[in-house]
Structure 1
Amino acid sequence: MKQASAFEKFAARCWNLLNEGKPFTPIFTVGTMFIFHLTNVFDWNLYSSFLMTLPLFIVYYLFDFPLFLRNYLWIPFVIYLILFQVVSIPLLVTAILLYFFFTVFFWGTLYYHLRIGTSWLNFTRFWKLVLKNSDSTSGNAQEQLPKFLLLLSVWNYFYISDLTEFEYYDWLFIACFYLFVSVFAFILHQKLFDWKPSIISTYTQNVPPPKEAVTKKVVVIVIDGMRKERFEEANTPFLDELRRRGTEFTQMETVYPARTVVCFTSMFTGTYPFEHGIKSNMVWKLGIKVESIFDSLRKVGKKGRLLGIAHLVDSMGDDVETVTAVMHKDEADRNIIERAKKIMDEQDPDLLVVQLIGTDQIGHSRGVLYDEYIEKIEEADALIKEYVDWLEEKGKMEDTTLIICADHGQADGIGGHGHLDEGERFVPFFMAGPSIEEGKAIREKHSLVSLAPTISYLLGAPYPSHSRGPVLVEALKKTAGERK
């Protein structure tokens, strides 16, 4: 299986400018305005009027409007229409048409056909998924539409107005409107945005680091984007058997925002975005600000590898063995498992993390409530069985702890994840191995930030510098848990 090339890593970062909702809004708004006024691109008024609109761009960049908060975005636009009474219907219609062309045809059809081989007719389903989607990507029509309609309207208002004729009360009127939008957004987030997971306030301290390893190896297989209740509906005999032979955490919670690079970074540093610095899939400054589990292992002469897509390099750097994400959806996880065999055979790491991407790809391109999504979970089950059987044949499962989990779930629509809508927040998570309790289910709420310190404990390494998650000692057999 090919590694992600330097070009693919660069292209992935460029794509995130259009995929992540925050950078998409200004890029799309500016692009639409210039397309609409193509014959006037050298008109200074087009640029000066943009500067007049900049405060609104800043407000919409600073604040997310997740889930039901997005409904409130229509209020500033409606107030603008009532107070300013200046609107360009052709401009707004152009913007709406461009938006749905980008999301439904360019992204949902052309992009997914070229990247993972979806049908040229994917638009026949994708348009419905875009309208229903609730995550933090540009495909969230319910958030993006009211944002760019207001920004374009205000920008066009300044563009067609003669600013030299404005009196002081006109500027006061505009300033009051900007102040209203800013205060409105602030109050919404202070009073109504209350569903983020609780932050663990202290660093890992529920158990001291062990003086020796509890297990020889740890293998973590992350089924990217596997929604918990859809997993329960799938026919997964091997994973079900692992759960019966190990310990399951039935209330394992992901982090906010539930984006892949954010989740993986939190899982393998043990802390949150405000501390490790990765706040979306769009990474403006490469590299984490804290230690990772891979840094901890190096301190005791051990080695860890993360096999995943190019996006993860932005966070974890050289600890990532990249895989190309440009391959047919029916070949992706098969190729990843073959690569995982090669890494274990040639490098024999003490920790191997494997990211299976097929389930997430289908969720994004075809939706999570369809049979294709279940089929990908079942395919992952068969491939994980094949890999574990291979490890046993190679003698690498004698004292190995196996951890199976998802980084986040997926909501309805285009497999949305980011804002912790239904289907995103709680993920499958279970452990099996000689040191793990058998047939046990832990029903108390836990967080994925516990993964890094738990791996450290299992492999006899110090906790990462800013690890906050408690070690999952409930899963350890008493003799293993007593080792210090």
Structure 2
Amino acid sequence: MKKASKFEKTAARCWNILNEGRPFTPVFVVGVFLLFSIKSLGESNFWPAFLLSLGSVLPLLAIYFCYDFPLHLRKFLWFPFAAALLLFNAPSLSLLLFSLGLYFFFTVIFWGTIYYHLRIGTTLWNFTRFWKLVLKNSDSTSGNAQEQIPKFLTVLALLQGNFQQVQVGEGVLWMTTLLFSLAVWVYSKGIHHLLFNWKPEEIPTYTQDETPKKALADRVIMVVIDGCRKDRLAEANTPFIDWLRENGTEYSEMETVYPARTVVCFSSMYTGTYPREHRITSNMVYRLGIRCESIFDSLRKIGKLGRLLGVAHLVDSLGGDVDTYTAVAKNDVVDSMIMKRAKEIMTEKNPDLFIVQLISTDQTGHSRGALYPEYREKIEEADAHVADFYHWLKAEGYMENTAFIVAADHGQSDGIGGHGHLDEGERFVPFILHGPMIRQGVKVTEKHSLVSVAPTMAYLLGAPYPNKSRGPVLREAIRNEVDQHEEKVHRCDPSA
């Protein structure tokens, strides 16, 4: 499988400007207004009027950049829009319709149909389903219609109102615009303080567990089925994951982090801490690299090697510890190509810690929806890939004293397989451990967090915890000396 090229890494970063909701709003507003005014761009008084008007709405754009309006908070965005219509005169109906048409063209036709067809091979008829997904989507991306539409309509109302004032020689309504923006800021802050109360509770202290005198595992291998919903996994026919569950330890209440974006979740899993500390807060990474140690740094301190095989934008967070693969591949074959590359890396580099990210399930959720049969089928295909990888590792001698983990970084909600705001289906993820040092047939029902991944890996491999690690070691899964003495029957492997 090809590595992600420099062009692909750069293109992924550029795409995130349009994909992530926060940068999308100002880019879309400016783009819409300029396209709508295309016949006037050459007039001498256009640009001074436009720049003055744009300057007046920058505070409002900054507020909407800082504040997501997740889930049920989205309905509160219509009140500022109604106030804008009263204060700044109703923007022209043609501008509103143009902006709505361009928005749905971008999300449904360009993104949901053309983009996915070229990148992963989705049918050119995908728009027939994608428009419904956009309307339901609760994700923190540009495809969240219920959040993006009132945001950009409000800003456009102010922008056009002030532009028209300048055009007729009356000047920008600076005081009205600033007071309106201040009111929106107070309003947004109040709503978030009173109603935004579903973020996971953070662990206040750093990892307290005493490290073992020697490593419990020679190797840790983790397969992350990106975007795998726990309830959809339970519905799927997954014989190998079922076997892992029965012969290992399952955490049934494993919670992801907020916001549940892929780069954020991976950063938290492999540093053991939260976005406010590792400073990766979305898939759009403005300053490259985490701001604390990772499990890969911990392993280097004791002369061990860790590698992560993943998509290009994980480099933005975890840098040179990532072996990238191209995400420009047909979705029906991409996971098999990833597993082929994973076997090559095991053979070439023989890492002590190896993490593999499968992406077909996530991509299917985003392109076709997480509540449709195609999504469940991709979970079943992922199960077969994990089984094949496990048996290959065992045949090649890599599983002698190895902890094997299968998990997801986040789930997916209804709509465009959304994840980020912790809607239903996003928050709790599958998490199963297996190996000679792992207890058999145990189901842990107490709530745990993915920030425990890095410290648990460090504990198993005899490495120090990353310097900002907060998660407790998943000790419920680890066999103690009594378990080892009392276990009389050796586990049987599943048939290939």
Q: Confirm whether residue 77 of structure 1 aligns to residue 81 of structure 2.
A: yes
Q: Deviations over 1:28-77 (max 9, x none)?
A: 11000000011233521011111011111111011111111111001100
Whether contact under 8 Å (1:77, 1:146) holds in the other structure is: yes
**Residue 62 of structure 1 corresponds to which residue in structure 2?**
66
| SS of structure 2 residue aligned to 1:441 | strand
Which residue in 1 is equivalent to 2:21? Answer: 21
**Amino acid corresponding to residue 78 of structure 1 in structure 2:** A
The letter of the residue matching 2:313 is H
In the other structure, the counterpart of 1:37 is 37
Identify the match of residue 474 of structure 1 among 463, 476, 481: 476
CA deviation digits over 1:241-272, x for unaligned, max 9?
00000000000000000000000000000001
Counterpart residue number, 1:320? 322
Q: Counterparts of 2:149 and 2:482 in 1: how far apart (Å)?
A: 54
Query: In 2, distance between residues paired with 1:84 and 1:45?
Result: 16
CA contact (8 A) 1:473 1:481 kept: no
Q: Work out whether residues 262 and 280 of structure 1, in 8 Å CA contact, stay in contact via their aligned partners in 2.
A: yes
Q: Does 1:153 align with 2:157?
A: yes
Contact map agreement 1:214 1:480 (CA 8 A) in 2: no
- 2:309 is equivalent to residue 304 of structure 1: no
Contact 1:214 1:458 in 2 (8 A): yes
Pick the aligned partner of 2:360 from 355, 358, 361.
358
Structure 1 unaligned blocks of 5 or more: none
- The answer for the alignment partner of 2:101 in structure 1 is 97
Cα separation, 1, equivalents of 2:187 and 2:469: 35
Q: 1:114 aligns with which of 115, 118, 126?
A: 118
TM-score by length of 1: 0.97
Q: Distance in 2 between matches of 1:321 and 1:481?
A: 37
Q: Distance in 1 between matches of 2:356 and 2:177?
A: 53
Contact 1:364/1:415 (8 A) holds in 2: yes
SS class of match (2:444): strand
Which letter does structure 2 place at the counterpart of 1:39?
K
In structure 1, the residue matched to 2:287 is 285
**Whole-Å Cα distance in 1 between the matches of residues 264 and 69 of structure 2?**
18
Gaps (5+ residues) in structure 2?
485-496
Alignment partners' CA distance in 2, 1:158 and 1:81: 12
Please give the secondary structure, in 1, of the residue aligned with 2:74: helix
Distance 1:368 1:173 in 2: 44
Q: How far does the alpha carbon of each residue in 1:385-430 deviate from its partner, in whole angstroms, 9 at most, with x for none?
A: 1010001111111100001100000000010000000000000001
Query: Is the contact made by 2:162 and 2:171 (CA closer than 8 Å) also made in structure 1?
Result: no
- The corresponding residue for 1:454 is 456
Matched, 1:196 2:199: yes
1:408 match: secondary structure:
coil
Distance 1:298 1:291 in 2: 11
The Cα shift of 1:175 comes to: 3.3
Map of 1:121-160 to 2, 5 A cutoff?
121-160=125-164
- Once the two structures are superposed, residues 261-317 of structure 1 have per-residue CA deviations (whole angstroms, 9 ceiling, x without a partner) of 000000000001100010000000011100000000000000000000001000011
Q: Which amino acid aligns with 2:324?
A: T
Deviation at 1:132, TM superposition (A): 0.5
In structure 2, what residue type is equivalent to 1:191? L
**TM-score, normalization by structure 2:** 0.95
Say if 1:110 and 1:120, in contact at 8 Å, map to a contact too. yes
Check the 8 A contact 1:117/1:329 in 2, yes or no: yes
Instruction: State which of 420, 424, 427 in structure 2 corresponds to 1:425.
Output: 427
Local SS of the residue matching 2:149: helix
Would you say the 8 A contact 2:230–2:428 is kept in 1?
yes
Indicate whether 1:182 and 2:192 are aligned. Answer: no
Measure how far apart 1:479 and its partner are. 2.2
Shift of residue 166, structure 1, vs aligned partner: 6.2
CA contact (8 A) 2:452 2:470 kept: yes
1:54 & 1:80 partners in 2: Cα distance?
Answer: 15
Structure 2 Cα separation of the partners of residues 2 and 395 of structure 1? 26
Return the offset for 1:211. Answer: 2.3
Alignment match, 1:5: 5
Query: Pick from 246, 251, 276: which aligns with 1:274?
Result: 276
Deviation at 1:176, TM superposition (A): 2.8
| Closer, same or farther: CA 184–290 of 1 in aligned 2, 3 Å | same
Structure 1 residues 38, 449: closer, same or farther in 2, change over 3 A? same
The answer to whether the Cα contact below 8 Å between 2:238 and 2:383 also exists between their aligned partners in 1 is yes
Distance 2:353 2:171 in 1: 66
Q: Flag the 1:94–1:69 CA change in 2: closer, same or farther, 3 A.
A: same
Indicate the SS of the match to 1:219: strand
Cα displacement (A) at 1:177: 1.9
How many residue pairs end up in the alignment? Answer: 479
Q: CA deviation at 1:85?
A: 3.0
Report the Cα offset of residue 475 of structure 1.
0.4
Question: How many angstroms apart in 2 are the aligned matches of 1:251 and 1:405?
Answer: 12
> What residue number does 2:493 align with?
none
Q: For 2:482 and 2:171, how far apart are their aligned partners in 1?
A: 76
SS of aligned partner of 1:444: coil
How far apart are the structure 2 equivalents of 1:330 and 1:359? 10
Q: 1:161 aligns to what SS in structure 2?
A: helix
Mapped to 1, the partners of 2:482 and 2:293 lie a distance apart of 25
1:82, distance to aligned residue in structure 2 (A): 2.8
* Alpha-carbon distance between aligned partners in 2 of 1:311 and 1:320, rounded to the nearest angstrom: 10
Could you tell me which residue of structure 2 aligns to residue 235 of structure 1?
Answer: 237
Matches within 5 A, 1:248-259: 248-259=250-261
Q: Supply the AA of the counterpart residue of 2:179.
A: C
The aligned residue for residue 488 of structure 2 is none
**Alpha-carbon separation, structure 2, partners of 1:300 and 1:95:** 56
State the distance in 2 between where 1:418 and 1:262 align: 9
Q: 1:402 to 1:83 in 2, by over 3 A?
A: same
Cα offset for 1:481? 9.8
Pair 1:48-2:52 in alignment: yes
Q: What is the SS of the residue equivalent to 1:306?
A: strand
Question: 2:264 — aligned with what?
Answer: 262
Cα distance, 1:164 vs structure 2: 5.5
Question: What is the DSSP-based 3-state SS (H/G/I as helix, E as strand, rest coil) of the residue aligned with 1:464?
Answer: coil
Conservation of the 8 A alpha-carbon contact between 2:56 and 2:178: no
Q: Distance in 1 between matches of 2:460 and 2:384?
A: 27
